[in-house]
Amino acid sequence: MDKHYMRKPFVFAVALWCAAALGFAPKEGDCVSQLRPEFGKYRAAAVAPVDTDLDWNAIAGKGDFSTGKPVKFEFDAPAATLELSAKPDMTGAKTYDVQGGTSVEVVNLLVNTKYWWRTVDADGKKSGIHSFRTADEAPRWITAPGLSNVRDIGNRKSERYGGRTRQGLLFRGSEFDDHMNISDEGRRVIVDELGIRTDLDFRATRFKKSDKYTPVFDGTLNHVLIPLTDYAKIFDNKDTQERYRRIFSLLADRSNYPVHAHCWGGAAR
């Protein structure tokens, strides 16, 4: 038998392996999840039949899983930067530093959104443009180092009117101070990436280490303190009703957005 003929299947197999090894991701048409596996398991248990045993503390002590799963980009040649846009012509693209590597992880992408991406090498040469879609999953978890349980309220379906609520306008999460310790990167995410304008604080004084609020952002954000307590009295307590009126008046003013609402433990928000 011809030795060259015997060699062809081997060469073809090696070529396929190399193509796979030197590929890129996400690929065209990929639907990429940003939910951590731990949250998926927890959510599946939470909607299980009522007679199913549910261990609410199954992941307690194993770290904070209230952040999104990064989207990992991989490419077949070293790059200086990754460009990512929600428009096919790459306008408004965000740039991520790759530092000559062949992969980079990106967090806090919008959910249920199509993205286009490409890489740029050290000489300014741009790769081809690829696209993918983020999965239609709720909630959109936000990674802001030093904070916990930050979520985007957007992408909620309206059963009555159709359509969805906009992403990037209203967030709920932990406070910025007290028992949290926001890092410099966390500050960058809140101010520069999310563009938060209003810090809507529902904490009652008894939940704070001090009666005095010390602004974390030195006036960068508008801090609005509206303590919420006595939830059962919302319908017959004038003071409580006035506090809710102030909240909805604030939310009705477009100039206040984006808004980050928080309390101390989660009940008020």
Query: Residue 204's CB: how many other CB atoms inside 10 A?
Result: 14
Question: Is 70 exceeded by the pLDDT of residue 269?
Answer: no
Q: Letter for the amino acid at 256?
A: N
Question: Is 50 exceeded by the pLDDT of residue 62?
Answer: yes
Longest dimension (CA), the chain: 95
Question: Is 60 exceeded by the pLDDT of residue 50?
Answer: no
Selection from 100, 98, 149 nearest residue 262 by Cα:
149
Mean pLDDT, residues 13-34 taken together: 68
The total number of residues written for the chain in this structure: 269
- What percent of the chain shows pLDDT beyond 70? 75
Mean pLDDT, residues 134-148 taken together: 93
Give the separation between CA 269 and CA 24, rounded to whole angstroms.
41
- Tell me phi and psi for residue 134, to 5 degrees: -80, 145
What is the distance, to the nearest Å, from the Cα of residue 55 to the centroid of all Cα atoms in its chain? 26
Question: Is 70 exceeded by the pLDDT of residue 3?
Answer: no
pLDDT digits (tens, 9 = 90+) for 185-244: 999 999 999 999 999 998 876 555 555 555 677 778 998 989 887 667 777 888 888 999
DSSP letters of 188-240? HIIIIIS---EEEE---GGGSSSSS---SSTTSSEEEE-----GGGTTT-HHH
- What percent of the chain shows pLDDT beyond 90? 53
pLDDT digits (tens, 9 = 90+) for 80-114: 999 999 999 999 999 999 999 999 999 999 999 99
Give the separation between CA 152 and CA 148, rounded to whole angstroms.
13
Give the separation between CA 196 and CA 216, rounded to whole angstroms.
13
- Tell me phi and psi for residue 240, to 5 degrees: -65, -40
pLDDT digits (tens, 9 = 90+) for 244-254: 999 999 999 99
Mean pLDDT (the chain) is 82
pLDDT of residue 217: 75
- CB-based burial label for 6 (10 Å; 0-12, 13-18, 19+): exposed
* Whether pTM exceeds 0.85: no
pLDDT of residue 267: 57
pLDDT of residue 220: 85
Question: Is 50 exceeded by the pLDDT of residue 67?
Answer: yes
Question: Is 70 exceeded by the pLDDT of residue 18?
Answer: no
Partnered with residue 69 across adjacent β-strands are none
Selection from 114, 129, 132, 138 nearest residue 34 by Cα:
138
pLDDT of residue 14: 38
